[in-house]
Structure 1
Amino acid sequence: MPRIGGGQQEANMSLDNTSQLERRPPDELVPSRYAVQVGDIEVLVISDGVLPLPTKMLGHNADSAVRAAWLKDMFLPQDAFDWSLNVVLVHSGGQTILIDAGLGLDPDLNLPRAGQLVKRLASAGIDLASVTDIVLTHMHMDHIGGLLVEGVKEQLRPDLRIHVAAAEVTFWEAPDFTHVNMPPGFPDALRSAATRFASEYRSQLRLFDEEHEVAPGVVVRRTGGHTPGHSVVRLASGEDRLTFAGDAVFTVGFDHPDWHNGFEHDPEEAARVRVRLLTELAATGEQLVATHLPFPSVGRVAVAGDAFRWVPAFWDY
């Protein structure tokens, strides 16, 4: 009869390994990057951490009872939950492109589980100096803050190109917060981060109006809505397609695309943009990644009656 297991010595080794796992810092047990191949384009989705926010911000125009029912159906807390923060690194045609730059480490925000991008790029073996281009979907602080972390600018190459819609830069010169629904302090923090970013990186900005090809198969297109210059990035190589939607799509946006997110500066236009984008993605069947969908946020969109359905990708190991 064959012997099962390896005796007491192997059992002790197994127990030792278990105890070592338990002693590791908790963040080491959470996956923080996920690789996707889009034809010849290499893609790495990187988690910048999570951002705890009030659930009302998912749909401040929705009936509170309907919103509560949706949260219950999704097994989510009623008051607040953690929004994912996803960033994408792309390698195409000899260029290394970072799409958005995470929240950063503003000490006044007290958000210790966010702002992980710089650390996680390093753990993935990616040198900041290797980044040739940065594409910003928009200039909210959770998309530009990583560039404002102390010491980061000095590590970036002097010929770095930062691509952002001209309408976005113009908007943040005198931003309008009359239609948002944010927690106290957020408008001031957003305004401050955008002002500082524009000042520190103005010479490296490469502005576009509606659409711009950053690298072979990497095209950024302005959608507006969430902010006037909000943009999405489409990757295309061979028969493969992937769209990084930035903040055009949130978790609730599939079931209720007409719900207004608290960070949207033009919520009605943002809802129209969301419906157009989801309709397009459902028709093409291409992959979708977005900033605030649960990590790694890789999936596809299906039509479900008058709404949509999120179809997460099976993780490819």
Structure 2
Amino acid sequence: MPALTLGRKASQENNSHDERTRLDEPVPSRYELKVGDIDVLVISDGVLTLPGEMLGHNVAPDVRAACLDEMFLPPDYFEWALNVVLVRSGSQTILIDAGLGSDPNLNLPKAGRTIERLEAAGIDLASVTDVVLTHLHMDHIGGLLVAGIKERLRPHLRIHLAAAEAEFWESPDFSHTSMPAGFPDALRSAARRFLHEYRGNLHPFENEYDVAPGVMVQRTGGHTPGHSVVRLASKGNRLTFAGDAVFQVGFEHPGWFNGFEHDPEEAARVRVKLLRELAANREPLVATHLSFPSVCHVAVDGDAFRWVPGPWEY
């Protein structure tokens, strides 16, 4: 897919467009890598500014503040990175999650950039054959709800989602979450609207499904009942897109609860199991809410883990 050879053919063919993009954005917003024969493009949808307590609402405020201070972060808020991934395997082009889009009832001006950044990368939305959704939170589906986007997608676009996720959002339970006011209603509204607009495109699976050669989606549960991760494998190389199973302090403090987790105790078990596996097999990791481009390795550090950023591939 020529559009994924950014900085090569695509930029040569569209220099003026790329030049404008570089002038408008002082930092990179897309990052390419290869997993064997699979092309991978990580795209920043932007960041969400959220209360600091959402990084660990089950621990004392002073403990959480000390941790954030050690990370050179303020104690009262943090910028929650938001990444999506585009994958090409064989003849299929697969979008993994779709970013925030826009919600007029929430003040989140720094996110919702997925569609414009796909376009800046030379990606034609009509070329996308499949979408994989790790779950139905609005920061993973909102890009597909932006006005005019559905009409630009293939009529028979295949959207892969765990059956348990679609079922959960028919009557979601927020009793174990810890979100700012307005978020539960916005999440509920976005999920219901998505299921209404795209139900005819859904290809639900139970526990795992092979989307394309070397691209498998696997339900983990925890964060939401149908939360899933995507495993890539080609020519002995591997990479996992972990969705929301791993977040910024989840390496050193895997038992801390993320405020968006609908079953935080199960989410912590899922997180530990996944991090142990990735540390053991030395498989690279990309996750939605790790600092862009988020490509990293996992190391065991006593009873916890350590985030080891991957080297930048030039």
| TM-score, normalised relative to structure 2 | 0.92
**Cα pair distance change 1:298/1:282, threshold 3 Å:** same
- Cross-structure match for 1:91: 88
**Cα pair distance change 1:26/1:65, threshold 3 Å:** farther
Give the Cα–Cα distance (whole angstroms) in 2 for the partners of residues 186 and 103 of structure 1: 13
- Cross-structure match for 1:68: 65
Larger Rg: 1
Give the Cα–Cα distance (whole angstroms) in 2 for the partners of residues 250 and 288 of structure 1: 12
Percent pairwise identity = 73
How much does 1:30 deviate?
1.5
- Cross-structure match for 2:26: 29
Q: Are positions 1:172 and 2:169 aligned together?
A: yes
Amino acid at match of 1:206: H
Give the Cα–Cα distance (whole angstroms) in 2 for the partners of residues 93 and 244 of structure 1: 19
Give the Cα–Cα distance (whole angstroms) in 1 for the partners of residues 78 and 22 of structure 2: 22
Q: Structure 2: 5+ residue runs without aligned partners?
A: 1-18
Give the Cα–Cα distance (whole angstroms) in 1 for the partners of residues 195 and 105 of structure 2: 20
Q: Are positions 1:161 and 2:158 aligned together?
A: yes
Q: Are positions 1:78 and 2:75 aligned together?
A: yes
- Cross-structure match for 2:310: 313
How much does 1:104 deviate?
0.3
Q: Is the Cα–Cα contact under 8 Å of residues 106 and 182 in structure 2 kept in the other structure?
A: no
**SS of structure 2 residue aligned to 1:316:** coil
Task: After superposition, give the CA deviation of every residue in 1:68-110 in whole Å (9 maximum; x if it has no partner).
Answer: 1100100001111211100000000110000000000222222
- Cross-structure match for 2:249: 252
How much does 1:27 deviate?
5.0
Amino acid at match of 2:170: E
Amino acid at match of 1:75: F
- Cross-structure match for 1:145: 142
- Cross-structure match for 1:193: 190
Q: Structure 1: 5+ residue runs without aligned partners?
A: 1-20
Find the partner of 1:100 among 84, 97, 108: 97
Give the Cα–Cα distance (whole angstroms) in 1 for the partners of residues 279 and 258 of structure 2: 22
Find the partner of 2:113 among 88, 99, 116: 116
How much does 1:26 deviate?
7.7
Q: Are positions 1:129 and 2:115 aligned together?
A: no
- Cross-structure match for 1:242: 239
Give the Cα–Cα distance (whole angstroms) in 1 for the partners of residues 209 and 33 of structure 2: 23
Task: After superposition, give the CA deviation of every residue in 1:213-270 in whole Å (9 maximum; x if it has no partner).
Answer: 0000000000000000000000000110000000000010000000001000000000
Q: Is the Cα–Cα contact under 8 Å of residues 21 and 120 in structure 2 kept in the other structure?
A: no
CA RMSD of aligned residues (A): 1.4
How many residue pairs get aligned? The number is 296
How much does 1:157 deviate?
0.4
- Cross-structure match for 1:203: 200
| TM-score, normalised relative to structure 1 | 0.92
Amino acid at match of 1:109: L
Task: After superposition, give the CA deviation of every residue in 1:178-210 in whole Å (9 maximum; x if it has no partner).
Answer: 000000000000000000000000000000000
How much does 1:111 deviate?
1.6
Give the Cα–Cα distance (whole angstroms) in 2 for the partners of residues 40 and 292 of structure 1: 26
**Cα pair distance change 1:262/1:70, threshold 3 Å:** same
Give the Cα–Cα distance (whole angstroms) in 1 for the partners of residues 139 and 24 of structure 2: 20
How much does 1:25 deviate?
8.9
**SS of structure 2 residue aligned to 1:143:** helix
**Cα pair distance change 1:129/1:285, threshold 3 Å:** same
**SS of structure 2 residue aligned to 1:169:** helix
**Cα pair distance change 1:24/1:36, threshold 3 Å:** closer
**SS of structure 2 residue aligned to 1:69:** helix
